[in-house]
Structure 1
Amino acid sequence: MAVKWEWENATAGAVAGFATVAIMHPLDVVRTRFQVNDGRISNLPSYKNTPNAIFTIARSEGLRGLYAGFTPAVIGSSISWGLFFFFYSRAKKRYSGDEEDKLSPGHHLAAAAEAGALVSHGAIQFTAYEELRKLLVDFKSEKAKTKDVEVLNSLDYTFLGASSKVAAILFTYPVQVIRSRLQQRPNQDGVPRYADSFHVIKETARFEGLRGFYKGITANLLKNVPASAVTFVVYENVLKVFNLTRKKD
């Protein structure tokens, strides 16, 4: 019965994800149009504000313009929210036993955080981080003749944080490119137009090859990889301080 209920939560979450994208997607298109237009390309339409952008896109491109990139967005959202609510319901059950209505706010927060970590871009990074961490601990422990995780230092955590972020970005970046190209679709000549996600993939592969799916990734890596390295170095070292304090107590 519990498993059935968890899958009902997953289904409800997937439907909610679909509905959210169906309602809010035009605003995501508008956001992308504002971001990609720096005002230097004359054949791209300019918009005064959000309402003006919605009206202009609807008038010149119709409903398809407002929902450019809808397919990858709705698939991603439905799957993510479905999985989120599945893991959220399982986490709540684990924390509460048979008395779910007695969960504290802290337990709800923990369940939500746990579910979020499992279904986001971060899930890939954390999986890569933990697997690389185990390999590094095993390698250094063998050399040091110990199995203590304390063999890792800040330099190791820098490597782990950076490499796990690179793995996550490499895995998810093409989806971002596909969605952005679908959403940047004004009617002017010289600007690529795409019918759907498969058309984007086909045209990008044909004219740009694999590199086309990773355009702009250098800036993304330069921004996010160092930040990830710092995050994990600080996190692991703060955790060490807490562990030392606990041992002294």
Structure 2
Amino acid sequence: MSLSQWQWETATAGAVAGFATVAAMYPLDIVRTRFQVNDGRVTNFPAYKNTAHAIFTITRLEGLKGLYAGFLPAVLGSTVSWGLYFFFYGRAKQRYSKNREEKLSSGHHLASAAEAGALVSLCTNPIWLIKTRLQLQNPLHQSRRYSGIYDALRTILREEGWTALYKGLGPGLLMVSHGAIQFTAYEELRRIMVDYKEKKQKSEGASNLLNSFDYALLGGSSKIAAILITYPFQVIRTRAQQRPSKEGIPRYMNSWHVVKETARFEGIRGFYKGITPNLLKNVPASSITFIVYENVLKLLRPKRRND
């Protein structure tokens, strides 16, 4: 199998996995985003008591479509992000392993994940900003609502300039550590599990020893560690990406302003707003992602060991 073929198989598996993840868990993403921007002061949203109450309230006031606001850019962003992530990640691993001639260390997995995350963040920040803006639209919004992705892009460029598309890029780049932690944990836990099963079954083809339940367990476990460590960066990015008021005044001037104001008025708890729906969304979502990813790879290269 050629290197380029292996890379594109990896990218395809990642893109399919990303789409499946977003489609299954999107309403919780809406709830998380709205909790994240609720700083307890002036807000455009009703007071949500908890995740279930938020889902009920959004459905009652905005209909089911309210739970899927910004779904198109979310699908686009997730599909592109996962596809690029796995592509860059796989390419980096190939480079560090010198085309599979050397076994990768934990440091190499960490460097590969960090490199992939930074490149993806630079490529996709405008998509995530538009998704966040669309998710935060509701009947109480005072500014003219965006009608869709194109209208949002055109309005942002006209009213705020192209640099607005990169609001929240700083914490977005810091969130590279999220992917690095998750993928390093996943690879190491996967290796331990494969070694254990290989010894137990005393068989060859260790890459085929794991099943979908194993992938779900590995994906969920690695995600929990990454979320707990890096979640504050998500809150900072979301707050920094909010749409300015109709007078053109931004809620926060920049990411550092978000940090100072959040710490001043809310303390450490402010940096973990919305973590419950985030865990409910991302832990099973990560399990789905890796189940789909690993099984799509098996379909794309069923005879890999003989290539």
Question: Shorter-chain TM-score category?
Answer: 0.5 to 0.7
Partner residue, 2:93 = 92
Is residue 2:254 matched to residue 1:219?
Answer: yes
Is contact 2:77–2:128 with CA below 8 Å preserved after alignment? no
Deviation, structure 1 residue 71: 1.8
Deviation per CA, 1:197-231, whole angstroms, max 9, x where unpaired? 2233455567x46499574362336569xxxxxxx
Q: Please tell me the residue identity of whatever aligns with 1:8.
A: E
* 1:126-165 → structure 2 map (5 Å cutoff): none
Is 1:180 equivalent to 2:132 in the alignment?
Answer: yes
SS at match of 2:63: helix
Name the counterpart of 2:61: 60
Structure 2 unmatched ranges of 5 or more: 168-243, 245-249, 260-307
Report the AA paired with residue 179 of structure 1: K
Residue pair 1:185, 1:192 contacting (<8 A) in 2 also:
no
Which sections of structure 1, spanning at least 5 residues, go unmatched?
A: 125-170, 225-249
Task: Give the match for residue 75 of structure 2.
Answer: 74
Helix, strand or coil for the counterpart of 2:49? coil
Aligned to 1:120: 121
Question: 1:66 offset after TM fit, Å?
Answer: 0.9
Paired residue for 2:241? none
Count of residues paired in the alignment: 174
Q: CA deviation at 1:64?
A: 1.6
The AA in structure 2 aligned to 1:68 is A
Q: 2: CA distance between counterparts of 1:50 and 1:101?
A: 47
Query: Quick one: structure 1 residues 108 and 193, their matched pair in 2 at CA, closer, same or farther if it must change by over 3 Å?
Result: same
State, as a whole percentage, how many aligned pairs show the same letter. 56
How far, CA to CA, are the matches of 2:108 and 2:41 in structure 1?
51
Alignment root-mean-square deviation, CA: 3.5
Indicate the residue corresponding to 1:110 in structure 2: 111
- Closer, same or farther: CA 54–191 of 1 in aligned 2, 3 Å: farther
Matched with 1:153 is: none
Q: Determine helix, strand or coil for the equivalent of 1:78.
A: helix
When Rg is computed on C-alpha atoms for both structures, the one with the higher figure is 1
Q: Which residue of 2 aligns with 1:197?
A: 149
Residue type at the aligned position of 1:35:
Q
Going by fraction, where is helix more abundant, 1 or 2? Answer: 1
3-state SS of 1:109 partner: helix
TM-score w.r.t. structure 1 length? 0.56
How far has the Cα of 1:88 moved from its partner?
1.6
TM-score of the superposed pair, with normalisation by structure 2: 0.47
Quickly say closer, same or farther: Cα 1:107–1:57, change in 2 above 3 A.
same
8 Å Cα contact 2:74-2:128 kept in structure 1: no
Higher relative contact order (CA 8 A, sep 6+): 2
| Cross-structure match for 1:147 | none
Structure 1 residues 73, 100: closer, same or farther in 2, change over 3 A?
Answer: farther
User: Residues 47-97 of structure 1: CA distance to partner in whole angstroms, max 9, x if unpaired?
Assistant: 111111012212332332111112222222222221111122122222223
